[in-house]
Structure 1
Amino acid sequence: MYHDFYAYYQIENEQSIDQLINGSGKYNDILDTYQKILLLSTAYSKGKGVIDYAKSGNRRNRAGLIAILHSQKKYDQYIHGKLNEIKSLGIDSSIDITLLPKGSWILEFQLELEKPFLSKDDIPFYIIENPVKKDVVFGVPYTPATTWKGNLRWAMMKEFLEKKKDDPEEFAETRFRHTLLFGTEKGWEGTPKGWSEYLDRMCPDAKRIYRKKLTEMFEKNNDKPEDIHVEGMLHFYPTFWDRIDLMVINPHDRKTKTGKNPIYFEIVPEGAKGMFRLLYVPYYWLGDDDEKLKKKVWEDLSQVIAGVKAMMLKYGFSAKKTIGFGKARNNFNTGRVEIKGFLSTREFSNFEGLESIWGVEDEYS
């Protein structure tokens, strides 16, 4: 059935691309904008001219993907409709911490992009090589929870661990607290790899101290440290974006100075908005009395706030973030933080407002 659909509606020439975009001819019953984009990929069975037209049209006529994403903004209209469906299903809704343990907190705000967001979708066949990641059910561009987790862990490593690499005791303690927040490190094996190996090399003298903290915390002194695997206290949620666009990079020949083989990137553009949500459940501190619980919850929250701020404003959270992509504006339409048992719901409109709620030290002003 899947094959028959693409075979019947296969792109034949430039005229069929125009009909697909306009919803005429044999394509008059294709109403779903995302399906139209997927059908553009069938142009690859034709010549280069048809493929190029399916991407951006020609000098006389903007057609194909660039018409849907940029010129006519049809996909933005599609996204808005799908976002309403997502909200009606309760998928992208505010989080209620009423039934969670004391000390649990929620941090959420609507962020707006200052720089475009890039990511790579894993769809096997597409009209361009660099589609932005989209939800497989709704076709809405989004940042997965795993991407937020990885970027925040990296930002907090830069802000807190790197600064303590000459102090093994402090380094090991901070690394341990980050493990409780994010969970077991990637590459945590008998012979460390990846992230674990990187942190071991950053401060070699802290390796033994860190492993001792793990075995003592989880009362597994007879086990090897690498056998200890923990779940993080932070829980991340996807961010669904409300806009999409197409960016074209046109490399120039050094001799002729003319453009050749333009490279197309789907992006979430500057000004796009989406909700960032982060939930914390302090299950490693639940045996403490209220005073100790509050102290540890506050320590975790203050570091996370500083890390989120650094990720959003300083480092970015996108592919190609090292050259400036994927940064947010320090201005939120809606933001709230709530700590069960310790802080009622408070609203904020920027990071300074968030920090002032509990007096978090601002290191980035």
Structure 2
Amino acid sequence: MTIDYFVWLAQAQQADLQRPESATAHYHVLVGQGDEAKKEADELRDEWANTNLQRRLEEPTLGLWQCIQDPSIDLATLPPYTFMLQFTFRLAQPYLSKDDNAFYIIDNPIVRDKVFRLPMVRPTGWKGSLRAALWQLGCRHDGEEHLDERVRRMFGETRGDDMGQAGRLFFYPTFFTHTGLEIINPHDRTRRVGKNPILFESVPIGAKGRFTLLYVPFDRVGKDRQKTAQQVAEDLPLLAEGLQAMFTLYGFGAKTSSGFGLAQESVSDGLLTVRAEGLKPTPEPAQATQPDQAVALPRYLEAPGQLHAELRAADGSLVAEEEYRRRIEGQGKKYAKKERQLYRKAKAWWERKGKALSEADAEPESEQPAPPEASTPTWPSWPFDSFEELISQAGRVAEQLTQGGAA
């Protein structure tokens, strides 16, 4: 089926350079024609590269896409002391990765989602990069020489079919809506000149991605909760330090040793949520109290939700304009433009809000109120806008857990 699709694309008279699969199909048709079409194939690839040096991709509009890109997790269905980390980061250096697609217009395509065809970081990529960053920080567990229980709990370990233990960390994919191209030109060490430039598809500097991580202490279900809280208090600060190191120092993706795959220190929409009761979120800064000020009301109202006496009928509704006119003229005043505009404003307010308020007040008191809907538990959350602040917030949460936060 895939081969038939590319054959169909190649039948077009001209390649669509905005679609990688179309350019790929035409390029390989030219390559298959041998040396006589090599120059034309190279020109097509160069033209495609120039078109795609920086490109913004169309974001899917399906409702399902929003759930995939920014997942919402119901912590109430998960074990006590589960926590979730979410934030949006911005790339400080291009992100590279190696896709397993062998049929592409260049040799180094970026990893893409199979459905939406957007560049992505796989959950396994996040897990490997974070563990490598913790290894660089000296937090290691290999079951033999290095034994760090925090790393073992978070990432798990493999000891055959019976002795293995899955980790508590669950990563979600991250998607990008920008692509670019990086050119790496290896040099001859003797002549010190470039050989053949190599194209790498990338996610460019400045692109944003949404990171989501879930920590689930599933292996502690039914066990001592105080000990579970103590373990979470040990794991959370280390995890925060590891995330900062991975994003800002060691990188993620391919060629991190060359400086690729780094993000900025600042993040947006950062939130740490813990499934535990008794924890106190960071208090918001106190606002200076100001003396109560009288609410400015429109001229046609004498109180919130109540028309002025000149405009109000006995039942509280708006009087007819003719009646309002008689009342004005009865005071020895002239019914001029100013009064007409005031009545129009009062009428617009009455049709928009006043009538509904009046009908609501007139409802019989004997009616029983509808039973309240079951509310979803709201778990304590700690916002942050940088990795440094994430580390601080993680420390505060760990301190409360150590002091005995109830699950």
The answer, yes or no, to whether TM exceeds 0.5 is yes
The structure where strand makes up a greater share of residues is 2
Q: Work out which of the residue numbers 68, 77, 82 in structure 2 matches 1:99.
A: 77
User: 2:68 and 2:228 mapped to 1: Cα distance?
Assistant: 31
1:89: how far off? 5.7
- Per the normalisation by structure 1, the TM-score is 0.71
Q: 2:77 is matched by which residue type in structure 1?
A: L
Determine the structure 2 residue equivalent to 1:54.
Answer: 44
Q: Work out which of the residue numbers 111, 120, 125 in structure 1 matches 2:89.
A: 111
Asked if 1 retains the 8 angstrom alpha-carbon contact of 2:119 and 2:203, the reply is: yes
Determine the structure 1 residue equivalent to 2:254.
Answer: 319
1:260: how far off? 4.0
Determine the structure 2 residue equivalent to 1:125.
Answer: 103
Percent of aligned pairs sharing the same letter: 34
1:149: how far off? 0.7
Where 1:139 maps in the other structure, the secondary structure is: coil
Select the structure of larger CA radius of gyration: 2
Evaluate the alpha carbon distance shift between residue 345 and residue 51 of structure 1 in structure 2; reply closer, same or farther with a 3 A threshold. Answer: same
Is residue 209 of structure 2 the alignment partner of residue 274 of structure 1? yes
Determine the structure 1 residue equivalent to 2:271.
Answer: 336
Q: 2:69 is matched by which residue type in structure 1?
A: D
Where 2:233 maps in the other structure, the secondary structure is: helix
1:11: how far off? 7.4
Evaluate the alpha carbon distance shift between residue 255 and residue 307 of structure 1 in structure 2; reply closer, same or farther with a 3 A threshold. Answer: closer
RMSD: 2.9
Asked if 1 retains the 8 angstrom alpha-carbon contact of 2:249 and 2:262, the reply is: yes
User: 2:250 and 2:63 mapped to 1: Cα distance?
Assistant: 29
Asked if 1 retains the 8 angstrom alpha-carbon contact of 2:96 and 2:255, the reply is: yes
User: 1:323 and 1:258 mapped to 2: Cα distance?
Assistant: 20
**Deviations along 1:109-133, whole A, 9 cap, x unmatched?**
1111111111111012111111111
User: 1:250 and 1:132 mapped to 2: Cα distance?
Assistant: 18
Evaluate the alpha carbon distance shift between residue 360 and residue 352 of structure 1 in structure 2; reply closer, same or farther with a 3 A threshold. Answer: farther
Determine the structure 2 residue equivalent to 1:235.
Answer: 170
Asked if 1 retains the 8 angstrom alpha-carbon contact of 2:15 and 2:23, the reply is: no
Asked if 2 retains the 8 angstrom alpha-carbon contact of 1:115 and 1:270, the reply is: yes
Where 2:138 maps in the other structure, the secondary structure is: helix
Where 2:200 maps in the other structure, the secondary structure is: strand
Determine the structure 2 residue equivalent to 1:44.
Answer: 31
User: 2:253 and 2:138 mapped to 1: Cα distance?
Assistant: 21
Determine the structure 1 residue equivalent to 2:351.
Answer: none
Evaluate the alpha carbon distance shift between residue 124 and residue 36 of structure 1 in structure 2; reply closer, same or farther with a 3 A threshold. Answer: same
Is residue 7 of structure 2 the alignment partner of residue 7 of structure 1? yes
Is residue 34 of structure 2 the alignment partner of residue 35 of structure 1? no
Tell me the number of residue pairs that the alignment of Structure 1 and Structure 2 aligns: 290
Q: 1:279 is matched by which residue type in structure 2?
A: L
Is residue 245 of structure 2 the alignment partner of residue 245 of structure 1? no
User: 2:265 and 2:150 mapped to 1: Cα distance?
Assistant: 27
Q: Work out which of the residue numbers 48, 57, 60 in structure 2 matches 1:64.
A: 48
- Per the normalisation by structure 2, the TM-score is 0.64
Determine the structure 2 residue equivalent to 1:195.
Answer: none
Q: 1:45 is matched by which residue type in structure 2?
A: G
Runs of at least 5 residues in structure 2 that lack an aligned partner in the other structure: 280-379, 398-407
Runs of at least 5 residues in structure 1 that lack an aligned partner in the other structure: 23-31, 57-62, 190-225
The structure where helix makes up a greater share of residues is 1
Matches within 5 A, 1:76-95: 76=56, 79-82=57-60, 84-85=61-62, 88=65, 90-95=67-72
Determine the structure 2 residue equivalent to 1:287.
Answer: 222
> Bigger shift: 254-263 or 344-353?
254-263
User: 2:218 and 2:254 mapped to 1: Cα distance?
Assistant: 33
Is residue 118 of structure 2 the alignment partner of residue 140 of structure 1? yes
Evaluate the alpha carbon distance shift between residue 314 and residue 87 of structure 1 in structure 2; reply closer, same or farther with a 3 A threshold. Answer: farther
Asked if 2 retains the 8 angstrom alpha-carbon contact of 1:243 and 1:268, the reply is: yes
Evaluate the alpha carbon distance shift between residue 2 and residue 317 of structure 1 in structure 2; reply closer, same or farther with a 3 A threshold. Answer: closer
1:237: how far off? 0.8
